[in-house]
Structure 1
């Protein structure tokens, strides 16, 4: 058993940390969020570092990175900017991996190199107004009409849909089939006639809009079907373990960012004649933050290690997701307390971590659903 990451992993973290501290300082991230303007230049530069091709092979412009590398990248992106994470992660992991694993050769050659170089982004069209955690009861319909599919329905919480090139849409293609057998995945170009995108106001990461998407007789060619007709559930659920691991890494990255900021402040802030880190109440909060981050990281990396080796990791991924997201929330709350009144000031950045962390207890399956899954896995493994 080896708990030491490789020199390559350490170099990846150093490179990304230095890049984001230079290219995404607190005031710049705050400005883009305030103006609700997507930072396309930052995304392009991140793609130039290879961040957008981590999940697929060199033959399509990627690097086929191992899961620990992806988790390190996710931590650093989340630490830097939720808005960047919201745009990058669905494109570079979930959607790219879905196309690499299930797409046609034409789809791979056409789309994956452009994802890798940052010129194509995707939004995940999964949730609907009446279907969130239970994706098997989606109602958005896609019916065959000659060489096309005609789509009608509505998606919600489709983050980045207004600036993405495609929506990776989960749709019902056979209303008579069982819930798990009648679903398919279609790539829907954002500029399709009949597709309307409406941004929603939200708490954090405002530079990447979360949107409602309305599909009214939207036509897409049959070539835009990803995988087999009626086998969309297999695609989505095959990607869920990885997504939950990455959500755990996002929470870890936010917790690390809050810890770094609070530690620096506590070393510099003097009250009652000494730096506040020398006051036991503050020191204990920092110690708790450090323990939360380290535990979250170890859980996440263990799940990633199992995923890399093709081992069952549904329970470990669920644990990583729950603990990582809640650790991020706890760290941000402690960070707010340590910075005191300054934690409310946008220029310090802690309030952004505090706003950003809560999403990860909800996204990728609520933590209550994840706890159900962990309990079921405990029962299954005990047999």
Structure 2
């Protein structure tokens, strides 16, 4: 048993560090771009007079950093080689995301806008496994060219975690001799819709509420009549790009369908595991950053004549966070490594519980670590002149949005008790 990371991965991390130091950090320091990361970050990023959307200057800076990474051959790293990527594995992506967030806030990796110089592309897996060749050409390559951006229209105002009870309907309807679908319903929290070219709308086309089958994914162009953005919902961490939307007599042709008729739920679930393990690694890295900053400050800060670090009230909580970080890092890396040894579809049956363990615990841990860092740093830790409040506000969302921790614990319980997963056969015999 060897726990060493591959040497070529370590070499790649060094390469990324050099790229960040020589190209990304100088861009971050240019023209007061640091305002997007220092105490002014929330105001600098948010156009409060325009629905709370991201400011154009902020998104332009992210695009500039992405262009540098694309030119250097890093941005598409996780994508398949046939689409210009480098077949980046789950293990490598987990280690990279862990490394990046350990660096703290910066232009190299800012997940508030799903931005990183090493990109994560769930839409690639979605179109690779379910799209037609024409759709792959349009949306995968078009996505990398930034001519296509697809928002994910699954959640509804009254239906979040249980997508099988969605009320949005897709009804067969022919218009001007062309067969298609009329969409009626409402969606909520459709991230990225302000810059999206299409919305992947999941709607019930057959079956009864609660049925897993009968949900279909339809790709709706942004300018389609009947698709309306009602408002952008302001959140704990601003800016927002999460609208509430209405679909009323919204029609698309049959060619807009992604994947099989009635098989949309499988599409929605097709990339959650790789997304969750990478996001777990990001939360772990951010928790480690909070820990290391707290350790450094506690050694430097003098109180009552000696280092703050000498107080056990400071030591013991940080010991617990450090212990959890070490254990979680081993579980995340091992789970990512095991994912790489399985076929894409087998992960759901063999490892879904481990991915959920990693994700919900990492998201909980980073919130605890950020809160503890504020406490250790005292008043300055509570201020926006330290990054901890931003880390807390940002990562708190993942205890809900990346599959709520209750849903993920339910998944783990299903595996433990044999309702699903590898224990199901033996449990049925008992």
| TM-score scaled by length of structure 2 | 0.79
Query: Does 1:166 find its partner at 2:198?
Result: yes
Residue of structure 1 in register with 2:283 after alignment: 251
Distance in structure 1 (CA, Å) of the matches to 2:236 and 2:24: 22
Deviation at residue 341 of structure 1 after TM alignment: 0.7
Q: Contact between 2:95 and 2:333, CA under 8 Å: does it hold in 1?
A: no
Deviates more, 1:80-89 or 1:32-41: 80-89
Given candidates 184, 199, 202, the residue that maps to 2:235 is 202
Which digits, 9 at most, give the CA deviation of each residue in 1:260-295, with x for residues without a partner? 432343343333334423433323333333223222
Deviates more, 1:326-335 or 1:221-230: 221-230
1:1-383 aligned within 5 A: 1-13=1-13, 15=16, 18=21, 23=28, 25=34, 26-27=37-38, 29-35=41-47, 36=52, 37-38=54-55, 39-44=58-63, 45-46=65-66, 48-50=68-70, 53-75=76-98, 76=100, 80=105, 84-88=110-114, 92-145=120-173, 146-175=178-207, 179-197=211-229, 198-204=231-237, 206-310=238-342, 312-380=350-418, 381-382=422-423, 383=426
Q: Contact between 2:170 and 2:181, CA under 8 Å: does it hold in 1?
A: yes
Deviates more, 1:30-39 or 1:179-188: 30-39
Which digits, 9 at most, give the CA deviation of each residue in 1:306-341, with x for residues without a partner? 221115211111111121111111111111111111
- Give the length in aligned residue pairs: 382
Q: Contact between 1:52 and 1:115, CA under 8 Å: does it hold in 2?
A: no
| Unmatched runs of 5 consecutive residues or more in structure 2 | none
Q: Contact between 1:62 and 1:116, CA under 8 Å: does it hold in 2?
A: no
Which digits, 9 at most, give the CA deviation of each residue in 1:11-66, with x for residues without a partner? 55452665766638531644444544253234322364256534432222222210
Deviates more, 1:193-202 or 1:74-83: 74-83
Q: Which has the larger share of helix?
A: 1
Distance in structure 2 (CA, Å) of the matches to 1:77 and 1:158: 25
Deviates more, 1:42-51 or 1:301-310: 42-51
Distance in structure 1 (CA, Å) of the matches to 2:391 and 2:275: 21
- In our comparison, the structure showing a higher alpha carbon Rg is 2
Secondary structure (helix, strand or coil) at the match of 1:158 reads coil
Mark the CA change 1:178 to 1:339 in structure 2 (over 3 Å): closer, same or farther: closer
Secondary structure (helix, strand or coil) at the match of 2:417 reads helix
Distance in structure 1 (CA, Å) of the matches to 2:96 and 2:200: 23
| Unmatched runs of 5 consecutive residues or more in structure 1 | none
Distance in structure 2 (CA, Å) of the matches to 1:30 and 1:81: 14
Deviation at residue 2 of structure 1 after TM alignment: 2.4
Mark the CA change 1:70 to 1:170 in structure 2 (over 3 Å): closer, same or farther: farther
Deviation at residue 156 of structure 1 after TM alignment: 0.8
Deviation at residue 109 of structure 1 after TM alignment: 1.4
Distance in structure 2 (CA, Å) of the matches to 1:217 and 1:189: 14
Deviation at residue 103 of structure 1 after TM alignment: 0.9
Distance in structure 2 (CA, Å) of the matches to 1:81 and 1:370: 30
Q: Contact between 1:258 and 1:332, CA under 8 Å: does it hold in 2?
A: yes
CA RMSD of aligned residues (A): 2.9
Distance in structure 2 (CA, Å) of the matches to 1:46 and 1:72: 20
